[in-house]
Amino acid sequence: GQSLEQPSEVTAVEGAIVQINCTYQTSGFYGLSWYQQHDGGAPTFLSYNGLDGLEETGRFSSFLSRSDSYGYLLLQELQMKDSASYFCAVRTMNSGYSTLTFGKGTMLLVSP
């Protein structure tokens, strides 16, 4: 089966930079995605990495190393509104079937 590991909680202050790591063990790896979920809300898509390297979208960047089965989400210039849960998710393709498996999430708490 698939397994993903990410820290359960991270704390940081406004204006800082924080990195949320995600390691995975899977077969048929296709890509790594990141989703943000505010308390009581719907998860929203942040980024996708299909190839090794860094993808940048405004204050958020995501990195993937397929050889290390590792990725991270980098949040810069943290704002209070970034307090939320962040989920990494791996897309796998096996026997023609595609599955998106989520990690258990990292709760980010940004303080003033």
Instruction: Report the interface residues with other proteins, using CB under 8 A.
Output: 30-31, 33, 35, 41-45, 48, 50, 87, 89, 91, 97-105
- Indicate the residue among 66 and 91 with the shorter CB distance to other proteins: 91
Mention every residue, 6+ apart, whose C-beta is less than 8 A from residue 8: 104, 105, 106, 107
Q: How many CA atoms lie within 13 A of 13 on its CB side?
A: 1
Beta strands 9-13 and 106-111 are: parallel
Task: State in angstroms the smallest separation of the CB of 111 from other proteins.
Answer: 22
Nearer to other proteins, 17 or 100 (CB): 100
Report, in Å, the least distance between residue 69 CB and other proteins. 17
Instruction: Report the residue number, 69 or 92, with the smaller CB distance to other proteins.
Output: 92
Nearer to other proteins, 31 or 60 (CB): 31
Minimum CB separation of residue 99 from other proteins in Å reads: 6
C-alpha to C-alpha distance for 66 and 20, rounded to whole angstroms: 17
The number of angstroms, rounded, from the C-alpha of 74 to the middle of its chain's C-alpha atoms is 9
